[in-house]
């Protein structure tokens, strides 16, 4: 019976969709370039979803579970099982096995390779779910794998990209299988002589404090946060700590932070998706602002910068509009300050340009 879901997974991959949605009594749907569309016209029987849950290691009474599924063609999927109005549902996202070359992703390669080559510190990659954070980090680690001898320990839930040892030695650990939690995996990794530690996500105080400790003791820690921009990322990280510890966390973060790299995927005129970016290398004035808790003012540094080490989402969106890659109305939808973007775009149409 699970053969039908196997076929749906294969069809999802063939359509290059990012997600597959399954509901009891509903028609399967996929998310393609950010839009939902039906995959076929047949509804899914309750028995099919129950069998799929059992196949994924859940019991018939399970309410929620994060797990994985492997299709017959070798495709691997991250799976979230849940219930809605008492009925079973599942969302599947493909785990890509081919790591894209960093130079093909429309990212600032020189900046990212400089950051990931640092001997120690904390590198934060931020964005909402589905913004490509995992792909960006995997491509950075693969670049490191091709160029610099390092012991890289990853703690993931689940493991998304499988690395083949080249210059680097990889120890990939999955939460729930190889370690109990992100925090526990990080604590244990410090005894494994790592050079680089990749933590899939910072979720709690234990993870955040261990990440700072690891950075402070000579390791490069790379991790992700679900946040919209640079200032919000710093604020969210600091707010993980209890009020009594925040001043100390700000002090350590100000000295150990390498940089913050934020991204979102925006639809293009051609129907695809491209990353639009905001980033800031931590140096000089930004260190003082972080230590003093003046995180909202980091946006002012970025707005004044627009150089190899800092760029705002607004400038990135304006550049893509100017280059003819995305429509202006799409850029306005994805901009936190559409009025300011409109003003910038009016300036462009009057003859000025935005640095690309």
pLDDT in tens, 266-298: 999 998 999 999 999 999 999 999 999 999 999
pLDDT tens digits for 99-136?
999 989 999 999 999 999 999 999 999 999 889 999 99
Q: What is the pLDDT of residue 68?
A: 85
Do 8 and 37 belong together in one domain?
yes
Span 193-211, mean pLDDT?
Answer: 96
More confident call, 70 vs 288: 288
Q: What is the pLDDT of residue 305?
A: 78
Report the alpha-carbon distance of residue 211 to residue 238 in Å, rounded: 12
Q: What is the pLDDT of residue 67?
A: 87
Q: What is the pLDDT of residue 101?
A: 94
In total, how many domains does the chain have? 2
Does residue 268 lie in a domain region? Answer: yes
Q: What is the pLDDT of residue 130?
A: 85
Q: Residue 327: which pLDDT band, with cuts at 50, 70 and 90?
A: very high
**Nearest-CA neighbor of 215 among 132, 336, 88, 121?**
121
Parent domain of 203: 102-311
Do 51 and 170 belong together in one domain?
no
Do 48 and 118 belong together in one domain?
no
- 95, 116, 133: which is the final residue of a domain? 95
Strands 273-281 and 310-311: antiparallel
pLDDT tens digits for 186-196?
999 999 999 99
Does residue 246 lie in a domain region? Answer: yes
- List C-alpha distances in Å: 47 to 50, 87, 355: 5, 11, 56
DSSP letter string over 148-174? ---EEEEEESS--SPPPPSSSEEEEEE
Residue 189 falls in which region: left (phi positive, over 0), alpha (psi -120 to 50) or beta: alpha
Report the alpha-carbon distance of residue 64 to residue 339 in Å, rounded: 41
Do 126 and 257 belong together in one domain?
yes
Q: Residue 307: which pLDDT band, with cuts at 50, 70 and 90?
A: confident
Do 186 and 262 belong together in one domain?
yes
Span 210-222, mean pLDDT?
Answer: 98
Q: State CA 299 to chain mean position distance.
A: 21
Predicted confidence (pLDDT) at residue 157 exceeds the cutoff of 90:
no
Do 89 and 134 belong together in one domain?
no
Span 224-230, mean pLDDT?
Answer: 96
The whole-model pTM stands at 0.86
Q: What is the pLDDT of residue 210?
A: 97
Q: What is the pLDDT of residue 2?
A: 83
Q: What is the pLDDT of residue 159?
A: 87
Does residue 321 lie in a domain region? Answer: no
Predicted confidence (pLDDT) at residue 244 exceeds the cutoff of 90:
yes
Does residue 329 lie in a domain region? Answer: no
Does residue 127 lie in a domain region? Answer: yes
- List C-alpha distances in Å: 164 to 2, 138, 212, 245, 260: 31, 12, 28, 40, 27
Q: What is the pLDDT of residue 152?
A: 99
Do 168 and 75 belong together in one domain?
no
Choose the weakest-confidence range: 57-71, 124-138, 153-167, 187-201.
Answer: 57-71
């Amino acid at each position: 019976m699970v053969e039908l879901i196997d076929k749906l997974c294969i069809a999802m991959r063939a359509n290059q969709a990012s997600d597959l949605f399954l509901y009891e009594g509903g028609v399967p749907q996929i998310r393609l370039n950010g839009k939902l569309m039906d995959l076929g016209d047949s509804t899914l029987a309750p028995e099919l979803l129950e069998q799929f849950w059992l196949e994924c290691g859940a019991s018939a009474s399970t309410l929620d579970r994060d797990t994985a599924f492997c299709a017959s063609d070798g495709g691997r999927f991250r799976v979230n099982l849940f219930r809605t109005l008492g009925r079973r549902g599942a969302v599947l996202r493909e785990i890509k096995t081919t790591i894209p070359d960093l130079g093909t992703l429309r990212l600032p390669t020189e900046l990212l390779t400089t950051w990931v080559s640092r001997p120690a510190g904390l590198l934060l990659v931020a964005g909402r779910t589905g913004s490509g954070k995992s792909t960006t980090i995997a491509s950075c680690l693969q670049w490191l794998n091709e160029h610099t001898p390092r012991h890289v320990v990853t703690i993931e839930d689940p493991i998304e990209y499988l690395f083949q040892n080249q210059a680097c030695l990889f120890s990939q650990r999955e939460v729930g299988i190889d370690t109990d939690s992100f925090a526990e995996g990080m604590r244990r990794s410090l005894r494994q002589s790592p050079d680089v530690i990749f933590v899939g996500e910072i979720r709690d105080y234990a993870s955040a404090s261990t990440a700072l400790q690891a950075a402070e003791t000579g390791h490069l820690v790379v991790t992700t946060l679900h946040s919209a921009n640079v200032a919000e990322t710093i604020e969210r990280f600091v707010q993980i700590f209890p009020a009594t510890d925040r001043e100390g966390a700000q002090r350590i973060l100000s000295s150990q932070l390498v940089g913050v790299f934020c991204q979102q995927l925006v639809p293009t005129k051609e129907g695809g998706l491209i990353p639009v970016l905001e980033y800031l290398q931590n140096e000089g004035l930004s260190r003082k602002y972080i230590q003093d808790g003046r995180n909202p003012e980091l946006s002012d540094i970025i707005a004044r910068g627009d150089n190899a080490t800092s760029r705002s989402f607004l400038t990135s969106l304006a550049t893509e509009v100017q280059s003819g890659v995305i429509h202006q109305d799409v850029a306005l939808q994805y901009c936190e300050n559409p009025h300011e973007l409109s003003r910038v775009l009016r300036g462009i149409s009057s003859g000025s340009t935005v640095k690309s």
